[in-house]
Chains A and B, each alone.
Chain A
Amino acid sequence: MGKAVEIRDLTKHYVLKSETVKALRGVSFDVPQGDYVAIMGPSGSGKSTLLNLLGCLDRPTSGSYMLGDENVAQMTDDDLSAVRASRIGFVFQSYNLIPQLTVVENIEVPLYYMGKLDSRAKERCCMLASMVGLGDRLDHRPTQLSGGQQQRVAIARSIVNDPEFILADEATGNLDSVTTEEILQLFERLNGEGRTIIMVTHEDEVAEHAKRVIRLRDGHIVSDERNTDRVIAKSSVEKVAPEDAESAVDRSESPAT
């Protein structure tokens, strides 16, 4: 498989009034397509900073970042927006659904910014909603959903634009172990479909599911290893196909935070 991401000597400095915070001090690695990477490290080690750079939300202070064969470091703000809209899917720790929109409408948002909000969009969003087990909650508002359910909507939203990458910053940080397991099942399934997943996590139990673990400390990579004893999330997600509406209903009623 080809390289999806290639970063070299990436640095990120935050210039504050009194000092310069060196959040990343030269990070280099490649991510092949279809990889499943967990980024770990103590608090303040630069995990989120790195993920934001990978997600084109920010530009590095120095170093190069090749996304496919495009150099992100040289892109304009609008170009970055376009890359985010079409190639990247985000999953956040705090779900970040838009409160005034329903489940389906939330899933639609990236399509809107991609300019692909056509007649088939709604259908696709409904399908995704049932894939993540919320086929019967299409018109609910985020506040009417549990944390786990909201995160599943967020995952559906992150893949609606058929992105190459899914970037997750502590996506399971607010969830209990059962729900975490469910989210990880979803990730595994998406990875199985060939999407590259890069996730930041604190928890070893979560990182165990990834194919590869990168550890950061003080803005440096301290280790970058393949996961030898990778755990596959139990209770196959494959069961929950979009056409399998009944089991989707069952899942939506499972306990969550």
Chain B
Amino acid sequence: MFFRTWILGIKSLLLHPMRSALTVLGIMIGVFSVIALLAIGEGVSIKAQKDIEALGAENIIVRSIEPPNDSIEFSFSAREFGITRAEMNQMKAIPTIAQVIPVRELRLQFQYTGNALAEPRLGRLVGCTPEYQGINRLEVDRGHFLTHPEKQATVCVISAELAKYFFPYEDPLGKEIFVPAKKNRFSIVGVLKEKTATGAVGGSLSGQDFANDVYIPIETMRRLMGDLEEKRSAGSFERKKFELSQVTCKVKDVKDVPKTAKIIESTLRRMSTDREDYGIIVPFELLEQARSTRIMIQLIFGLVAAVSLVVGGIGIMNIMLATVTERTREIGVRRALGACRRDITRQFLIETIVLSVVGGCIGMALGVAFPISAEGSKVLADWLAPEYYERIPTYFREVVPVLVPWSFPLAFGISVVVGVVFGLYPAMRAAQMDPIEALRHE
């Protein structure tokens, strides 16, 4: 009997296949967008979390920040800023810290004199220690990363992109990278594998692009280049002095991270001058933040998608109102043959539920296929219009939608609720009709 009522509902809907299909489409899009948007949101937050995790939950990163150059007056004295080696040693003395890893970065032109075709290329000269490889998860393709015995040597490790650029047909190992600005040469001991850029993390750490990096031992950098940087450009002459760009402190126990971060902060405040020329990034705390951000993203995306479900629901209501009017005569006949009001309500409600459930099921099926099709469309976009695809920020290109399991029951549940809520009014209207009036309806 129960079964029959449903069959009847389906039969009545099939009387207007086009109309029913369009109504189903509305709900389908709603359910799909709930699942898809939540999947994108999840992808974004997973990527953010991965980026933060890449920094290492046990690490605390202290980064020098160059203060804005607001001196209008021409000055010969160098601007001094950033974390100093003395400060680094203070941090090293904190008992919860196992290790401190200093980094000094410069933006410079690189050149390979053996390849006349390759123009000099702007990149990052990174003075670092062997530990740098571990904290940034750099993978070596050929040769080796900087080693402790080499800490005074004029050697370097280059990125895969630079290797490809300067040495398309040669083996880069043993060749020399020339830094025109410093008139230094570094012989290549290692080539890295390609590494994708990281997104900006928190407020103070901007995204890092490892594409044009050259790594040299930090002691070599200090010996050859000192702490002073001079920049000459048309009409201006700028001198700045900084000892370190970044210090990564590895904490012994992750539990101690928040405590250690506070100690570092107070240490630096005591030592540093009045200027805020450093930032402290605590990935551990960022991770916590990212988790709450994730909930926010899901909430917002979920709401946006839910709106489309409501729109679908209004579609259902619209169609059902039309159906009820159109089938007034049928309602009258059924009432005359003994149907009570509840029977009529149930009949029309079942039709809306069938519509929304079918829409929900198709929407879920499409939702399951969404990550695959999203990847597919990226490949397609790259193939059809690579130049436009390239312009999409890497960060977005790398977001992979991740299905959220609970989005399925949620979307489906909402669609059924929408079906019932928006179907109830037309169904009740049908049930409230006077049987005689209904029978007389043309």
Using CB atoms and an 8 Å cutoff, list the residues of chain A in contact with chain B.
Answer: 52, 55, 57-58, 77-78, 81-82, 84-86, 90, 92, 96-101, 109-110, 112-115, 117, 157, 161
Chain B's closest residue to A90 (CB) is: B336
Contact A77–B15 (Cβ < 8 Å) = no
Contact A57–B336 (Cβ < 8 Å) = yes
Chain A's closest residue to B341 (CB) is: A77
Residues of the A chain whose Cβ atoms lie less than 8 Å from the Cβ of B330: 98-99
Contact B340–A157 (Cβ < 8 Å) = no
Contact A96–B439 (Cβ < 8 Å) = yes
Residues of the A chain whose Cβ atoms lie less than 8 Å from the Cβ of B332: 96
Contact B436–A81 (Cβ < 8 Å) = no
A58 to nearest B CB, angstroms?
6
Contact A84–B337 (Cβ < 8 Å) = yes
Contact B341–A78 (Cβ < 8 Å) = yes
Chain A's closest residue to B434 (CB) is: A58
Residues of the A chain whose Cβ atoms lie less than 8 Å from the Cβ of B291: none
Kindly supply a per-residue 1/0 record for chain B positions 260-282, scoring 1 wherever the CB is within 8 Å of any chain A CB and 0 otherwise: 00000000000000000000000
A99 to nearest B CB, angstroms?
7
Q: In the complex where A58-B436, A96-B439 touch, is A85 in contact with B338 (Cβ < 8 A)?
A: yes
Contact A117–B15 (Cβ < 8 Å) = no
From B15, B329, B335, give the contact of A81 (CB < 8 A).
B335
Contact A114–B341 (Cβ < 8 Å) = no
Chain B's closest residue to A161 (CB) is: B338
Using CB atoms and an 8 Å cutoff, list the residues of chain B in contact with chain A.
Answer: 1, 4, 8, 11-12, 14-15, 329-330, 332-343, 435-436, 439
Identify 9 residue pairs between A and B in the complex whose beta-carbon atoms are under 8 Å apart, listed by A's number: A55-B336, A58-B435, A81-B343, A84-B335, A84-B337, A96-B333, A100-B14, A113-B340, A157-B337
Q: A81-B338, A109-B337, A113-B340 are in contact. List 6 more A-B contacts (CB 8 A).
A: A58-B436, A92-B333, A100-B12, A112-B1, A113-B339, A113-B343
The 3 nearest A-B residue pairs measured at CB: A85-B338, A81-B340, A113-B338
Q: In the complex where A57-B436, A99-B15 touch, is A77 in contact with B336 (Cβ < 8 A)?
A: no
Contact A100–B15 (Cβ < 8 Å) = yes
Contact B439–A81 (Cβ < 8 Å) = no
Q: CA separation between A96 and B439, bound complex, in Å?
A: 8
Contact B334–A57 (Cβ < 8 Å) = no
Q: In the complex where A57-B436, A100-B11, A100-B12 touch, is A90 in contact with B340 (Cβ < 8 A)?
A: no
Residues of the B chain whose Cβ atoms lie less than 8 Å from the Cβ of A161: 338
Chain A's closest residue to B440 (CB) is: A48
Residues of the A chain whose Cβ atoms lie less than 8 Å from the Cβ of B336: 55, 57, 84, 90, 92, 96
B3 to nearest A CB, angstroms?
11
Residues of the A chain whose Cβ atoms lie less than 8 Å from the Cβ of B333: 92, 96-98
